[in-house]
Amino acid sequence: MSDETPENHVPHALGPAAAAGPVQPALPRWVTVTSIGSIWLVALVLGILIGVLSRPAAYASWLSLALAVCALLAFVAQLATQQKDGFVTRLAATLAGSFVVLGLIGGILALISGLA
């Protein structure tokens, strides 16, 4: 005789929640800030290096390459957190920030090269 009578039957979890596995703890705030801010800092450093080392005619090419590098590093930084919850939001913030930083530097470089 089995213990699986209708009165003793415990339903098993079904559906996507059961397949997802255990719930991951929330990412600490400092990890989120570090994973996003580090790529913004890379964008700033690359932008400054482009302004110092590049010719004005090549600013746009180098800035687009810097943005591509930041996009790749953004994926690496967000995947390194090993946290799927909020991945798209963190990646969007990282990419948007890098775009803004490099865009501002590009605008400054355009003004400087136009004045010279």
pLDDT at 24: 77
Q: Give the tens place of pLDDT for each residue, 15-68.
A: 665 566 677 788 889 999 999 999 999 999 999 999 999 999 999 999 999 999
What local confidence, expressed as pLDDT, does residue 32 receive? 92
As a whole-number percent, the residues of the chain with pLDDT over 90 amount to 71
CA dist list (Å): 46 to 9, 12, 39: 62, 53, 10
Of the pLDDT bands very low, low, confident and very high (cuts 50, 70, 90), residue 114 is: confident
Buried residues in 62-98 as b, exposed as e (16+ CB within 10 A): bbeebbeebbebbeebbeebebeeeeeebbebbbebb
Q: Is the pLDDT of residue 9 over 60?
A: no
> pTM of the entire structure?
0.78
